Structure 1
Amino acid sequence: MSDLISLETIEEIAQQYGYWAVFLGILLENLGIPIPGETVTLAGGFLAGSDQLNYWLVLANAVLGATLGGNFGYWIGRYGGWPLLLKIGQLFRFREEQLASLREQFSKNAAKTVFVGRFIALLRVFASPLAGIAEMPYPQFLLYNTLGAVAWASVMVTLSYVAGQIVPLEKLVEWASRFALLSFLVVVAWIAIPLWWESRKAKEVAEVTPVVEENAADG
């Protein structure tokens, strides 16, 4: 998403609005609004490394924005996410049974997904609504969402704070984007391959059943 807004512009926003930019950037990204929240957070840590912002205040705002954004996303998913997911699934020709299977699979790994999802492109946006759709118990979600927010913010802000004194911000953003994209592709494969395999097995069963019934009728 940072391709739509130049890095120079993001850095200027972080300089002008400081901690508010970090807080609102990651909060709005968690709500699905096209804001490069991770890049703004990296810019905030980078500015802290050059003594333009305070490290601890940048970290606190990143944690708070990520935590609140995740909570909003959870309740959006809890109260209106499943019908919306069904409509999106129809566009991509996913049957309701497949989506229900995906929801069940998410439920089994909900805690890990909410926590690790902070570090994965797009999943950072959708993990919380999916947790709501899967009706993950809220106390459990609150715990892992908060832990994930603290871990993610600590890594991003500290990385940009320390490494930013050695390498340019552009390189930091590039590294973070590559890692997030690679992680996202791994998750897509983890989800898509079982769905494809299930669909293939169902198709084979559908093709074999008429033959079996025909042989039974002839016998």
Structure 2
Amino acid sequence: MHVQEWLDSVPAVAVYAMVALVIGLESLGIPLPGEIVLVSAALMSSQHSDINPIVLGACATAGAVVGDSIGYAIGRKGGRPLLAWLGGKFPRHFSEGHVATAERSFEKWGMWAVFFGRFVALLRIFAGPLAGVLHMPYWKFLIANVLGGICWAGGTTAVIYYVGVVAEDWLKKFSYVGLAAAVLVGLASMLLVKRKAKKAQQHDERDAEPVNAGE
């Protein structure tokens, strides 16, 4: 089956559920590519009328808020030992250096760290559990969490959806022009690289001649 046909066969409900689940698990503290999944789904929504971008953004926001809240509860209950355990399981993401950097951000910025952390891959994983470990008041965390989730999930969905629609229309009108331009740029780049490589080789040969003569 062709990839495009397979994408057409994926039910919209499955796309909504997958986006909410992956983003929720990432927000909970599990290193997953939530942003990549959201961007891919938003691009799909720009090409498939059955995937509603508004519903998609709402599902992504819900996954972010719920996942962060669960992560907050786990972090508040688990405390420092939880971070040590996560460091053993996911040393690439929860190393002592990463934890210290995230902790300094929370101590310095408070609620803003939760809000803007939604837009940073590392802090997006840390935000919920670390806010719980540091005993940030839940009402503050919830406000920053909801606002950050809406801006990140809704904003990302809207921008990628619009870019996808515009790009599809542009490619329909100028596909052959774009293909020709890409070929010309590729050929020009290849010739330029070859020319520079040839000049470098000639330069090396000239530098080597005095050495050989002296020998």
TM normalised by structure 1 equals 0.61
Report how far residue 48 of structure 1 moved: 1.9
Cα shift readout 1:76-130 (whole Å, capped 9, x = no counterpart) = 11111312335649x99969xx96x974762342201100001101210111111
1:147 and 2:144 aligned: no
Which of 25, 36, 40 lines up with 2:37 in the alignment? 40
Match of 1:131 in 2: 131
Which amino acid in structure 2 is aligned with residue 148 of structure 1? G
Cα shift readout 1:151-206 (whole Å, capped 9, x = no counterpart) = 101121011110112448xxxxxxxxxxxxxxxxxxxxxxxxxxxxxxxxxxxxxx
1:23 and 2:20 aligned: yes
Percent identity over paired residues: 39
Match of 2:112 in 1: 112
The equivalences for 1:153-168 within 5 A come to 153-167=153-167
1:85 and 2:87 aligned: no
Match of 1:201 in 2: none
Contact 1:14 1:43 in 2 (8 A): no
Question: Structure 2: where are the runs of 5+ without partners?
Answer: 169-215
Distance in 2 of aligned mates of 1:76 and 1:27: 14
1:53 and 2:44 aligned: no
Match of 2:63 in 1: 65
Report how far residue 39 of structure 1 moved: 1.5
Match of 1:187 in 2: none
Q: CA RMSD in A?
A: 3.2
Report how far residue 18 of structure 1 moved: 1.8
CA separation of 1:129/1:15 partners in 2, compared to 1, >3 Å: closer, same or farther?
Answer: same
Distance in 1 of aligned mates of 2:138 and 2:61: 19
Which amino acid in structure 2 is aligned with residue 119 of structure 1? F
Contact 1:14 1:44 in 2 (8 A): no
Task: Look at both structures and tell me which one has the larger radius of gyration over its CA atoms.
Answer: 2
Distance in 2 of aligned mates of 1:36 and 1:165: 23
CA separation of 1:14/1:151 partners in 2, compared to 1, >3 Å: closer, same or farther?
Answer: farther
Report how far residue 30 of structure 1 moved: 1.3
Question: Structure 1: where are the runs of 5+ without partners?
Answer: 1-7, 169-219
Contact 1:25 1:36 in 2 (8 A): yes
Which amino acid in structure 2 is aligned with residue 138 of structure 1? Y
Contact 1:49 1:165 in 2 (8 A): yes
TM normalised by structure 2 equals 0.62
Which amino acid in structure 2 is aligned with residue 67 of structure 1? V
Report how far residue 15 of structure 1 moved: 3.6
Match of 2:206 in 1: none
